[in-house]
Amino acid sequence: MEDTSDDDECVYVVGEFNNDITDVSDYACHKGQRVKFSWTHAGTIVKATLRNTK
């Protein structure tokens, strides 16, 4: 994901899998910074949420 704001906050992704596993991406903390993330877990459904550090 990419931080698109110049607001001194970070963005990150939280993934909640259907087998009770939660994973968190690295943080993107400067406007224009991109962070790749990849998760591998047993399970077929993930709820992915983009969040910021407000």
The answer to whether residue 16 is domain-embedded is yes
- Which residue, among 27, 25, 20, 28, has the nearest Cα to 46 in the 3D structure? 20
The answer to whether residue 18 is domain-embedded is yes
The answer to whether residue 27 is domain-embedded is yes
- Which residue, among 48, 52, 45, has the nearest Cα to 23 in the 3D structure? 48
What is the pLDDT, as a whole number, of residue 43?
Answer: 75
The answer to whether residue 2 is domain-embedded is no
19 by DSSP, 3-state: which? Answer: coil
Domain that holds residue 19: 11-52
The answer to whether residue 44 is domain-embedded is yes
The answer to whether residue 6 is domain-embedded is no
What is the pLDDT, as a whole number, of residue 52?
Answer: 94
- The pTM of the full predicted model, rounded to 2 decimals, is 0.85
The answer to whether residue 3 is domain-embedded is no
pLDDT in tens, 9-41: 999 999 999 888 999 999 999 999 999 999 988
Q: How many structural domains comprise the chain?
A: 1
